Amino acid sequence: MSIRIGTRGSKLALAQTQTVCRKLSLSGIDTEQVIINTRGDTTTSVPLHEIGGQGVFVRALDDAILAGEIDCAVHSMKDIPAFRPSGVFTAAVLKRDSAADYLACNGSLDSVRVIGTSSTRRRAQLLRHNPAIIIKDLRGNVDTRIRKMTSGEFDAIMLAEAGLTRLGISIPGMRYSPEKFVPAPNQGTVAVVSRADSSLMEILSTLDHPQTRTDVAIERGVMEQLGGGCFTPIGIYCNDGHLIAEVLSLDGKRTERIETDIQNIEQAREQGKNLRTRARDLIDDAFRKLGINYER
């Protein structure tokens, strides 16, 4: 059986897909990579929240699966929205790499004044740590972001440590502990989504890492209740059942945070509901300032 695997065309997306292909090859499964462009890849001149949030990296691949053009797709799981179209399933969640954020810089960390990031979460967390720094919007693939930093547009840029590791990139900077600098839900995790085909899903399930699947399901349970996508500064991290979640104001001056042990998805959803109630004004304020309409 040969499996057609859809992927974005960035170096990171291809590296992640090649990892999946290698793992399947060890089981004697042939694969074919199909590169699909997404709106998130082709529209890089505006902030992500202005073109629909993290789902813009996923929709074209979902459509290709549903149309039968590919059998499955490989994603950074943090890009997958909370709510999925009918007929598309998460067939496998690979063992999680680092969930941490990484501040890459040109020179001394003490001299960093201008930081590039397109994430409202990272912006708020950085401003909470140091209100005097200047945050400028930065989008594009990892190579593009690093090039803009080395050319002098930014003193430093924020990246996911897992992405640097997968690309084999070593660059000066500082790792932020995910317990303190709470990452985006599912950060550091690769997922394989597929159509509803029992034989296909059985093959892909051999790639699944149960503990990672449990942890990211807890994170997504909280995320579903909070809503907000990439619009509201939200960090959610679960490690072996220990959950940390926070909602911040856009300027990082206010935070609502929970930290607790979770045993099942129902408890995760309940914690998400509680945090949403406590952080309602922060969520509303973020949507209002970003000019986005949403249903409560």
Segment 118-136 shows an average pLDDT of 95
Show the tokens assigned to 109: 């960390």
Look at residue 290 and give its three-state secondary structure: helix
H or E segment to which residue 256 belongs? strand 255-261
Question: For residue 34, what are the β-bridge partners?
Answer: 6
C-beta pairs of 111-116 under 8 Å, 24+ apart in sequence:
111/155, 112/155, 112/156, 113/155, 114/154, 114/155, 114/156, 115/154, 115/155, 115/156, 115/157, 115/158, 116/145, 116/148, 116/149, 116/153, 116/154, 116/156, 116/157, 116/158
CA nearest neighbour of 231 among 100, 94, 53 = 53
Q: Which of 62, 79, 97, 155 is catalytic?
A: 79
Tell me, yes or no, if 137 is annotated catalytic.
no
Identify the CA nearest to 77 among candidates 219, 178, 175.
219
Answer yes or no: is pLDDT of 85 > 90.
no
Q: What is the pTM for the complete model shown?
A: 0.88
The more confident residue out of 284 and 228 is: 284
Q: What pLDDT does 49 receive?
A: 44
In the chain the domains, ranked by start, together with CATH numbers, are 1-94+189-208 (3.40.190.10), 101-176 (3.40.190.10), 209-289 (3.30.160.40)
pLDDT tens-digit readout, 134-175: 999 997 889 999 999 999 999 999 999 999 999 999 999 999
pLDDT value of position 38: 66
pLDDT band at 48 (very low <50, low <70, confident <90, very high): very low
Least confident of 25-29, 45-49, 99-103, 277-281: 45-49
